Structure 1
Amino acid sequence: MPRETAEEREIVREAQKRFKACQDWEAEARDRWNADQKFAEGDSDNQYQWDEQQVQSRVNDPNGPRPCLTINKVRQHNLQILNDARQNKAGIEIRPVGDGATYDSAKIFEGIVRHIEYRSNATEAYEAASRHQIYGGWGYWRILTEYIDPTSFDQDIKIQRVADPLSVYLDPDIKDFDGSDARFGFVFQDVPTDLFKTEHPQWKDVVGSRALCDEGNSWDTKDHVRICEYYRRREIADTLYALDDGTSLLRSDIPPDLREQFDAEKETRVRAERPTKRFEVQWFKIAGSRIVDRNVWPGQFVPLVRVIGEETVIDGVLDRKGHTRAMKDAQRMYNFWTSAAAEFGALQGKSPFMAPARAIEGYEQYWNNANRENYSVLPWNDVAEDGTPISSPQRAQPPVQSSAYLTGMQTASNELMLVSGQYQAEMGAPSNERSGVAIQQRQRQGDNATYHYIDHLAQAIRFTGRIMIDLIPKVYDTERVVKIMAESGDQSDVQVAPDADKPVQKMVAGRPASDEDLKRAQADPDLRDKVATIFNPNVGRYAVEADVGPAFATRRQEAFNAMSQILQQNQELAKIAGDILFKNADFPGADELVERIKRTIPPAILGQGTPPAEEQLQQQVQQLHTALGQAMQRIQEQHDALQQKNDRAEDGHALDSYRAETDRLKVVGATDPDAMRMVFRKLLLEMMQPGLPGDADQDAGTEQAPQMPPMPPQGMPAPQEMPQPGMGPA
């Protein structure tokens, strides 16, 4: 067995002192819890609703055993609240409150919490605690972390049922009703001795040693070892920095190797700082008086959640009670009157026949067995020996129940309803109310009388949500894929990325996607499986609410009934909303019917196609494009026709000018050959210019290659045949 250190001895002494304080504070409340729990579970075998001395006196009565009947009406009154809580479950709702938190990230948090509840079978944990709360006054469940499998380092969160609330102790100085401010807590468990020695072979010698109990007595038995799990919450001084980017940072969150660099940059990065405190929860496993295991709990709360029925402190004495306590005397009265009525009837004999002795003389074997055998004929002597008629035997008046017992039972039943606030209409029995509204009002009156039990359960579930928000970023601290669950029960995958910049990022085929891209990808069968959600639980701050309402299955059935009535009145709605109707149906084949109806609904209504307004705008734009194209085509045709007309006009005008010039040259050449030289020179220079006359419509700065002059008309000499300037005629 390992050597005990001074620190371990101090921790054990602290645990013993605190446990003694818990025992002293809750001792009387625990005795009453046990008595109330047994009374609520009373039946004819265990006789928990009868005082033990009364049972012994009735059983050993000198005149014969007397009945001790148990007609447990308390159980039904309690189950009415418990089953109402089952049908109106409190759901954890998470809201974003700042530091980058978004609505989508809050919904992912909800989905993770909902999947943790589903995987942990948290419904059983909640119902067990609620049952103990209603029957005895309080109940518990606890939060644990466990490895996903033996070959993984990844952990998951689990909500575990506490079968025996008396095995849990919490800080007696708690101020918050949900126990969120508890500084310490204990959980005791009896472990088989052989299992303990297998798990802790080095600690097998602690079996049977002094434990955390009154007067140092050992709790260990021959077959079991009592283990104590001790949680303690400690405040640790820290410093909070307000950074220039609007975020805040605790000094303890800075890695040790980066603190020196942070201090060097603090003047430029830090806007303000102040001292603060953070919480650390330590966990110890104590066997006997030795610490056999220890660890640091990742969260900041003691992970023990309590559900209180009613709690009072009178004259410094704690008292907790549930729904049973107020009904105990009325139930005892009912059992007494029922037993007395049965006893009164049992003391009365069976209804005998009244007959003269001579009337049955000779037929005694028939009449002696008349109350045991079913004879078809009972003979009797109708005439005496002297001829005197004898009247037939007559049965005596049957036993009559005393009205006092019936009145007593009725009074006890009424008093049970008075003290519980639950009346016949709420219990499902016929009552004076006849209209539906009157029955609902009476049921509402009963709900109001017991609603605090459901509300206290919702407060405990809300505290569970706070623990989850605190734990998820610390447990899911590596990249992994986790399951989330929608309220309808549908599951999907989310990739946890603790280093992501945003709380939520939608990806399609590995690339960031906008809402429109995501919508198109979800509608595309080829891309639907490539849609991924990246979630960073470290970004943002969130708040928790617990919404109490009907279970999803109940609301689903109500939605189906309501939509059925609406579609009966307006059958045209079935063409656009029929898939929603059958989506809320539970009969086999409803899912296939939904898919078939979807294929008949226009994509725009399903949100998978182009919205009607956008589609109409696109049609208008297409019509404008078509009209513009047609107009451009007509303009081009008109331009081509005009160009051809202009070309023909210019060609005719140039030909006429050329002919006129030729005729003039002929006349000039015939009269003055020297003058023709100047004309030819001018003509050659004009032909060698960049543009020809008549090209004035071209851009002034555009350079063109020299063009060959057009062939002269017939009868005009070619240029090379013309006389050269400065040369006389041949």
Structure 2
Amino acid sequence: MSKHEDILTLAVTRYKAAIESDQTEREAYDDDIRFAINDEGCQWPAAIRASREGDNPPRPCLVFNKIPEKIDQVEGEFKQLKPSIKVRGVDSKADPKIAEILQGIINHIEYNSNARSAYNTAHTSTLYGGRGAWRIDIEEDDDDPFVRNIVINRIPNVLTVCWDPGAKKTDKSDAEYVFVSESISEKEFKAEYPGVEAMDWDSDDKLMEGWRTDKTIRRAEYWWKEKVEKTFYRVERVVDGVPIEMTVKEQGEGDLLIEEKKVKRPGVKWCNMIYNKVLEGPHDWPSKYIPIVIETGKEVNIAGQSKTRGMPRFAKDAQRMYDYFASASAESVALVPKVPYLVTPKMIGNHQSQWDQAATKNFMYLLYDADPLAPTLYPKREMPPQLSTAIAAELGRMEHDIMSAMNIYRESLGDESQAKSGTAINARQRQGNTGSYSYTDSFHVALTYSSKILIDLAPYVYDTERITRIRGEDDVERDVAINAREGAPILQGANQDFMVKSGNGYINDLSVGKYDVVATIGPSHATQRMETFDLIARLINSVPQFGLALGDILFKNMDVSGAEEAVKRLARMVPPEIMSDNPPEKPPDPKIMLEMKKIELKLQDQNRKDFETQMKAITELMKAEAAERGQQAQEMAAVMGLIKERLPPIGPQPGQGAQP
């Protein structure tokens, strides 16, 4: 078998397995979404409708569809939210500025692709039927065919998507294969693929079921995962004169090879096919993720089979009953003008034509002849049927059952209800919001997977030296250079706040570092501005003194002409100490200063007294010591006098000679 035959054999088998395992859920989705919009009057079973319309006169089959308004409420709340993506680094090579660039690239992709349309389509489909989808593609630039762009496209009909039944994750990111198919006419197929022989529609091959009819041909995009061998190099590279060890996919000039390693990594392949032929491909897809994003509604697992649903699933019976009782009520009221008269043949015999039209025309009077057999009687209309209180009660109960099944109550719809206090109304609104939050959470899961695909694709698509536009959360656009060499001319026209030199010597190399995403869903930037404006306006209204300090911020959040000029003028009026990051110190309280001065004077007076006492003590001590020293001198003189008296003279005395 050729390579293409191997691909086709496996693909056809996989497609059949995917469709068969999901057939019940696909039928339930189709039934739910058709019922919710009353497609072709399907809220009335066909047999009952035919029976009622076949009566003489026909009985009404009215539809008062209560389901769409509940879904519209949840859908409207979702559309007021703004999905946003935060990119963050997860290894030592990641840089916050590169993370900001990647985040800006994703925002710009969403803006250029009108991704919100894809998100809304998928979410609305999920609300109605329990599943939705969008896709991520790589397309050539309209102006430059050598430039590729990432785009987010919507999938209007989620039933064109089928996936590996072995996928366990909510977002189906673990699916080994995914099909996106469509049925096209044979004429359209021949015009698009001239010379390609399609299979015969009357073939006995059972695997061909669903691929060919007498008028259509199924064309499918087939995505599948394969283990791909990749080579990595551990090299020593000199960056700014410093040798650094790093792992790269390609060796550069001057790199010193340390180790080479071949490993198998999951890769994705794509082809476009019909049952018996590969029309395009197979091609390698430059990401480890299949770029089909699945959003699911409320999901449970029964005996290993995933069961998903949207909002209408358990409200259908209550809606059928509501239609029935509403039709019965209308039928009862409509029959009031046609209540028959009690007459005898003699009374109307001469005026038959007028009486035959009495139920359809408004006559000013009706003629009759008195019946000799009943001279006291005259034509008399029967009592009209009264509107049944049971029907009215059932209508109210069925409407409540519809709301309960869909978890949307009167308070959420803005209607009056039995809840009168603000607390009770808010509690009921929160109950409805909590019940529908699981759909918002499902979208959050899908958005996270979609963002991972974008982050993984970015280094492959934006792999050349170029200026690209990024978009911030405030919708401000900036031109940023990526994959640029040092000194490259494009750096002059790029935003200088984003200049990250990577280890390989390039500026803003998106392939360096590992990044992850965090998806959030919250108020839009415009909504946040409105809330900020409202809060500051109420604050200034309560405390007018705040107007001088907050006036410029108030106008900054106003979407009116001249707001920017007003901000500049008001900012010049704000005192410098408020605008400064280091405001001057507040002068001390005079009362505190006076008390401190008094304490200081008291301390000085006390110190003076202590000093005088010490000096006096020292003087007395010195006097005592002096007196003591004088007494000691006198005593010493007296002692010396006694010594002199008692000691013999030293040396020869006068008149005495020395002895021989």
| TM-score normalized with structure 1 length | 0.68
Matched-pair contact (CA < 8 Å) for 2:466–2:484: no
Q: Does residue 556 of structure 2 align to residue 583 of structure 1? A: yes
- Paired residue for 1:303? 291
Q: Which has the larger radius of gyration?
A: 1
Q: Taking structure 1 as reference, are residues 324 and 500 closer, same or farther at Cα in structure 2, changes over 3 Å only?
A: farther
Say whether residues 1:409 and 2:382 are aligned partners. Answer: no
2:53 maps to amino acid? V
Partner of 1:307, secondary structure, is: strand
Question: 2:224 is matched by which residue type in structure 1?
Answer: R
CA distance in 2, matches of 1:603, 1:508: 36
Choose the corresponding residue for 1:124, options 103, 117, 123.
Answer: 117
Shift in Å at residue 317 of structure 1? 4.0
| CA distance in structure 2 between the partners assigned to 1:450 and 1:247 by the alignment | 52
Whole-angstrom distance in 1 between the partners of 2:380 and 2:548? 78
Describe how 1:361-380 pairs up with structure 2 within 5 A.
none
Give 1:596 deviation, angstroms: 4.2
Residue by residue over 1:288-343, the C-alpha shift from the partner in whole angstroms, topping out at 9 and shown as x without a partner, is 42112112111110000000112333234443211111111111111111112222
2:473 equivalent in structure 1: 487
Q: Give yes or no for contact 2:484–2:491 (8 Å, CA) kept in 1.
A: no
Give the equivalent residue in structure 1 for 2:461: 475
Contact 1:211 / 1:217 at 8 angstroms: preserved in 2?
no
Query: Given the alignment of the two structures, is residue 226 of structure 1 paired with residue 218 of structure 2, yes or no?
Result: yes
Assess if the C-alpha contact under 8 Å between 1:211 and 1:219 holds in 2: no
Check whether the contact 1:208–1:218 (CA below 8 A) recurs between aligned residues: no
- Give, in whole Å, the separation in 2 of the partners of 1:22 and 1:153: 37
- Quick one: which of 535, 544, 552 aligns to 1:571? 544
Alpha-carbon separation, structure 1, partners of 2:354 and 2:174? 83
Moved more, 439-448 or 188-197: 188-197
What do the CA deviations read for 1:45-81 (whole angstroms, capped 9, x no partner)? x2121211111121223x4322111111122222222
Distance 2:561 2:50 in 1: 58
Change in Cα spacing, 1:372 to 1:488, as seen in structure 2 (3 Å) is farther
> Which of 523, 531, 544 pairs up with 1:550?
523
Structure 2, unmatched stretches of 5+, are 237-242, 371-375, 500-505, 586-660
1:280 aligns with 2:267: yes
Query: What is the distance in 1 between the residues matched to 2:392 and 2:244?
Result: 76
Asked if the contact 1:108/1:484 (under 8 Å) is kept, the reply is yes
Gap change, CA 1:470 and 1:514, over 3 Å in 2: closer
The number of residues matched between the two structures is 561
Name 2:31's counterpart in structure 1.
35
Equivalent residues of 2:130, 2:308 under 8 A apart: yes
1:292 to 260, 263, 279: 279
What are the residue-to-residue correspondences of 1:49-64 with 2, within 5 Å? 49-61=43-55, 63-64=56-57
Equivalent AA in structure 2 for residue 108 of structure 1: I
CA contact (8 A) 1:507 1:513 kept: no
RMSD of aligned alpha carbons: 4.2
Q: Are 2:136 and 2:152, in contact at CA under 8 Å, matched by a contact in 1? A: yes
Question: Deviation at 1:149?
Answer: 1.6
Q: Which residue does 1:322 correspond to in 2?
A: 310
Q: Which moved more, 1:28-37 or 1:551-560?
A: 551-560
Tell me the amino acid that sits aligned with residue 403 of structure 2: M
Q: Which residue of 1 aligns with 2:78?
A: 85
The aligned residue for residue 707 of structure 1 is: none
1:51 partner letter: P
Residue correspondence of structure 1 range 536-547 to structure 2 within 5 A:
536-547=509-520
Q: CA deviation at 1:175?
A: 2.2
1:249 aligns with 2:247: yes
Of 142, 152, 162, the residue aligned with 2:135 is 142
The offset of 1:282, in angstroms, is: 1.0
Q: Which amino acid aligns with 2:171?
A: D
Q: Which amino acid aligns with 1:313?
A: N
SS for the counterpart of 2:523 is coil
Could you report, residue by residue, the CA deviation over 1:430-453 in whole angstroms, capped at 9, with x for unpaired residues? 112223232111111111112111
Could you list the per-position Cα deviations for residues 535-583 of structure 1 after superposition, in whole angstroms to 9, with x for gaps in the alignment?
3322322221121222333222212111111122333433343232222
Cα gap change, 1:510/1:372 in structure 2, threshold over 3 Å: closer, same or farther?
closer
TM alignment of 1:305-704, pairs within 5 A = 305-349=293-337, 399-497=385-483, 535-598=508-571, 600-601=573-574
Cα displacement (A) at 1:96:
2.3
Partner Cα separation in structure 2 for residue 597 and residue 151 of structure 1: 46
| Alpha-carbon shift at residue 132 of structure 1 (Å) | 1.4
Letter of the 1:400 partner, please give it. Q
SS at match of 1:538: coil
Shift of 1:246: 7.9
Whether the 8 Å CA contact 1:496–1:535 is kept in 2: the answer is yes
Q: Give the letter for the 1:159 counterpart.
A: I
Which consecutive residues of structure 1, in runs of 5 or more, have no partner in the other structure? 385-389, 516-532, 616-730
| CA distance, structure 2, for counterparts of residue 589 and residue 192 of structure 1 | 57
Q: Aligned partner of 1:493: which letter?
A: D
* Shift in CA distance, 540/601, structure 1 to aligned 2, threshold 3 Å: farther
**CA distance 1:548–1:374, change in 2 (3 Å):** farther
Please state how far the C-alpha of 1:152 moved relative to its aligned partner.
2.6
CA apart distance, 1:285: 0.9
TM-score by length of 2: 0.74
Query: 2:589 — aligned with what?
Result: none
